[in-house]
Each structure stands twice: as C-alpha cells, then as structure tokens.
Amino acid sequence: MRLRHIPGAEETIASSPYVIQEPALHKGSWNQVFENDHPIEIEVGMGKGRFIMELAQKNPHINYIGIERYSSVLLRGLQKRAGLELDNIYFLCIDAKAMADYFAPGEVNRIYLNFSDPWPKDRHARRRLTSPDFMAVYDQILARDGVIEFKTDNRGLFDYSLEAIPQAGWQIKAHTFALHHSPMNKGNVMTEYEEKFSSMGNPICKLVAAREIPAYDKE
C-alpha cells in the first residue's frame, strides 16, 4: 500500500493526548489507562476512524483502541477525534503483527477487521489480516470467549478467510455474503469504505469467528 506522506504527521501523532506513545508499558494494565474495568475492543486498521469512534459514542461502557500503522491515515482520525467528547477511546500507531507485545493474554474482548488490504497475490497471503499468522496473534491477546468480526467487499478475500480461519483452529459462528440484506445487519455500524462500496452496489460480506473450545473444556 502506497500512501501520500503528510508533513508533520509523525510530530502531531507523537504529541497527541489521544495516542498512547509507549503501549508496551501498559501491557496487562490497560484498565489503568482507561481508569475502569470495562471490556476492551480493538479495530485493526482503523483508517480514518469513523467506525470505532461511532462505536465509542454508542457504547460508553466499552473501551476502544484503534490501531493504524500509517501515520498519514491516523492523522485524519485524530482530526475527527478532536471534535468529540469521549473518554473511552485511544489510538495506537503500531504494526498489528506486534500486538502481543502490547496486550496481555485475554486482555482484549473483541477484534474488528474492516475492509483490510486483500493482498491478492498468493505470495503475500501471510499479510492478510485473516491469515493463520495473524489469527495466531489474535489468539494470544483475545479473551477465552472473545470474538473476531470481519467485514469486506472483496469476495476473494472473504472466500479465503472462510477457509483460512477454520484451518487456524477457529470456528465461523456466522457469516453472510450480503450483510445489508441479512439479519446480521442489525446494529451494524458502517465504515467509510462500507458506505462507499455499498452505494456502488457492491455486496458487503461479514463473518464472526471464535475459538474452537474442546468439549471437555466447556463449562
């Protein structure tokens, strides 16, 4: 992915009160950052942040962390954040592959993956956010009963995910190839891309995944 460099983006991010600068220091103690014990939900690849900020507005009883590795993109999110009165959301400018360095086992309750880069070439499959490599990262930080929600308009990536996620030892709890015409659309919060692509007539796919828990381990 090639993005336009925005002069001063790094400096703005480094001085923002909405961005946690040394997240590794808070591994296992994010409840102290938020000053409460509310559940934590993460969006990986938050883009301009519309989705996660709307969730934060709708759910003050949940803590949100938006992850975006590209400073020029995160900058746009910070500009939106400045106009909102919220105390339940922070941002991280990190590579999602390193999330286990910043969150303790079981510290995250839900992970959102929205319209991520499909990386269509086979040699880049490991970069897809639903690849077994990334699922292994999520497994390290997600609570035992935690879930992953994934949305995309890319049918090839969705078909890949329907195969790759179970192969990584997870269950597909629900899925649809036409979210906006599905019962799964109830309470749906749209991203910028979702609104754009759906207005063009592109069907939106969604799945919800959770770990496979052995029968003997179920209570």
CA-based nearest residue to 150, from 124, 130, 170: 130
CA-based nearest residue to 110, from 49, 53, 54, 41: 41
Pairing verdict, β 108-114 and 142-152: parallel
The one catalytic residue among 87, 117, 145, 159: 117
- 168, 133 in Cβ contact below 8 A? no
**Distance of CA 172 to CAs 108, 119, 158, 159, 208, Å?**
19, 22, 12, 12, 6
117 is known as an active-site residue: yes
Q: Which residues are catalytic?
A: 117
